[in-house]
Amino acid sequence: MAEKIQAHSNNNDSTLRIELFIARLLRWGVIVSFVIVAIGIGMVLITGQTGYHEIRLDDLNSIVGYNVKPDFPSTLGEVWNGLLALKPYAIIALGLLLLIAIPVMRVTVSVIAFAMERDWLYVALTAIVLLVLLTSFLIGEAGG
C-alpha cells in the first residue's frame, strides 16, 4: 500500500513539474513574442520604413499592378532574408511566427509528457492533434 502511495505521489510530482514547465513555456513564449513584435513596431515608428515595397497612392501601376510584391514578408525565406537585413516587418513577422508556434510547442511537450507517464491513449490523441496542427500549417494558404 505504501508503495502505491509513493508511486502515486511521484507521478503527481512529475505531472506538476510538467504542467509548470508548460506554463513557463507559454508565459515566456508570449513575452518574447511581444518583445520581438514591439521591437519591429518601434523600428517602423523610428525609421518610418517597413523595409518592403510601399504602395504609393499616386502611382496607378503600384495600385492595380498584377505583379506587385506584397508589402510584407509572405514566406519563411522572405522572413529570414528580411531578418538578416533587419527589416522591421520581418522582425514583426518573426514575433508573430513565434506566437503561432507556442501552441504547437505546448502540444509537443504534452505528447512527450504523456509518453513519460505511459498514458498511451493520450499520447495517441495528442499526437493526432499535433499532426493536424502541423498539416494545417503545411497545406494552409495565407491570403487566400
pLDDT (tens digit, 9 = 90+) per residue, 46-89?
A: 988 888 766 554 555 555 555 555 577 878 888 999 999 999 99
Q: Indicate yes or no: pTM above 0.85.
A: no
10 Å CB burial of residue 46 (0-12, 13-18, 19+) is exposed
pLDDT (tens digit, 9 = 90+) per residue, 99-119?
A: 999 999 999 999 998 998 899
* Residue 65 φ/ψ, nearest 5 degrees: -60, 140
Distances (CA, A) of 57 to 48, 60, 63, 111: 17, 7, 7, 50
The secondary structure of residue 140, as a DSSP letter, is -
Q: One-letter amino acid identity for 138?
A: L
The set of cell numbers assigned to 94 is: 518573426
HSE at residue 116, side-chain half, CA atoms within 13 A, is 14
Calculate mean pLDDT across residues 31-45. 95
